[in-house]
Structure 1
């Protein structure tokens, strides 16, 4: 089934076997029996965010106007791999740079500041950073911080993803089953990435409806895609 999935995506059986061996060496998957593997989720920092995209919106709580801050002036810039992991952790946590030393996000997610601290640690943020809450900003700073996120661009990006799903669904009959499966995986992955990278801003900073609608649309799209892929792979096994 694994090599057949690779063939559907344009990869040879040899490609898939080499990739599986490399991922075993990296600790991302573990071989259980011949040709069978298990995902090592602890080696994948973003696994929790990606696997829970369907319920991502449930992490939000009413915003009390406070902010969570990440002070990272001591993060070493010389280790590029670690710095890249740190910056990616901030991005996935919806944290935006305010000054060269401090990044912020609204304190509107479950478990508050402690929750953000745990999330950043799990995502691979540098241990040298410090997370704390800001209860009050000056009027000028408050206005500046609210502009850290481009709400218009974010909404447009979500709507573009929604239109792409709608177009793929509408034109599915014009593709072969294999082409449809390939499209569903490539497009579905891109849309889930869009959902996972959304900063989950409160309504006071950005409209929530486009994200809610995209998640519901993506649920239907993935349900169809999973059925399609399982049928393809099971049929391939039988033949």
Structure 2
């Protein structure tokens, strides 16, 4: 695993790269542009075109005119969650002290694919285990219980899980619930990622364009992956300033990366 500005980055698969680029661009990209980006990341044209076909078949992307593609914003919830990272903080509302809960002790683990989807849904929505089979998170998301139930189901939560609200926990359980998230690590990660973005942003000005484009793609996707999984804890459990600062830095960095990307695409193919 490589590092860029003290941030670990992972080379994307063809489908991941396609989705990342379509999210970042916000519009349509030609198959030629996507294949060129694949080559920059060491992904062959045939592999990338197979990725395009599979994503289109899964409804995650849509075909446009003349071999162009765009993100399908009516497609799977996971793709929409990635697409919406810029506005994630707007999902938070004032916390009244209650908790959203998922009881999944009765969910079978035998179907590993379904269990992974179930677990990923809980992780993406910021749930943590208070007891075996009982996952909770603060009830501080817009729309409350019904909206959260819909989000979880769309992301793959098992139909055998129960989603409900918990109020009036006893003192010991309330204290334990407040300590489920490693706030120090979350804060430190946000500050480290912000520092990495700011350092890279300065480097982008002096690097060869192809190098700058590659770095911005890899670093940007690493930071966005962190933001997507941010549990969006209320201020009563975690200071919001590190997350707010990281979001602002990421928006600025991605705007710069988009400019570099479009400039690189405008160059003739060597």
TM-score (norm 1): 0.93
Q: Which moved more, 1:128-137 or 1:37-46?
A: 37-46
Deviation at 1:34, TM superposition (A): 5.2
- SS in structure 2 at match of 1:200: coil
Distance 1:125 1:145, change over 3 A: same
> Following the alignment from structure 1 to structure 2, what is the Cα–Cα distance between the partners of residues 175 and 68?
47
- SS in structure 1 at match of 2:248: helix
Matching of residue 49 in structure 1 with residue 81 in structure 2? yes
Aligned to 1:59: 91
Matching of residue 112 in structure 1 with residue 163 in structure 2? no
The count of corresponding residues between Structure 1 and Structure 2 is 238
Distance 1:66 1:46, change over 3 A: same
- SS in structure 2 at match of 1:69: strand
CA offsets 1:177-212 (integer angstroms, 9 cap, x no match): 011001111110110111111000011111100000
Matching of residue 232 in structure 1 with residue 264 in structure 2? yes
Aligned to 1:2: 34
* Contact 2:61 2:72 (C-alpha < 8 Å) held by counterparts: yes
> Following the alignment from structure 2 to structure 1, what is the Cα–Cα distance between the partners of residues 144 and 59?
32
Deviation at 1:176, TM superposition (A): 1.1
- SS in structure 1 at match of 2:131: coil
Q: Which moved more, 1:31-40 or 1:208-217?
A: 31-40
Distance 1:48 1:40, change over 3 A: closer
> Following the alignment from structure 1 to structure 2, what is the Cα–Cα distance between the partners of residues 61 and 25?
37
Deviation at 1:77, TM superposition (A): 0.4
Deviation at 1:27, TM superposition (A): 4.1
* Contact 1:65 1:107 (C-alpha < 8 Å) held by counterparts: yes
Unaligned ranges ≥5, structure 1: none
Deviation at 1:41, TM superposition (A): 4.3
Deviation at 1:70, TM superposition (A): 0.6
Aligned to 2:200: 168
Aligned to 1:186: 218
Aligned to 2:28: none
Unaligned ranges ≥5, structure 2: 1-32
Aligned to 1:138: 170
CA RMSD of aligned residues (A): 1.8
Distance 1:26 1:61, change over 3 A: closer
Q: Which moved more, 1:100-109 or 1:169-178?
A: 169-178
Matching of residue 17 in structure 1 with residue 49 in structure 2? yes
> Following the alignment from structure 2 to structure 1, what is the Cα–Cα distance between the partners of residues 58 and 142?
33
Q: Which moved more, 1:192-201 or 1:166-175?
A: 166-175
Within the candidate set 217, 220, 245, 1:213 is matched to 245
> Following the alignment from structure 1 to structure 2, what is the Cα–Cα distance between the partners of residues 21 and 61?
39
* Contact 1:4 1:236 (C-alpha < 8 Å) held by counterparts: no
Deviation at 1:19, TM superposition (A): 2.3
- SS in structure 2 at match of 1:70: strand
CA offsets 1:141-181 (integer angstroms, 9 cap, x no match): 10011111111011111111111101211222442101100
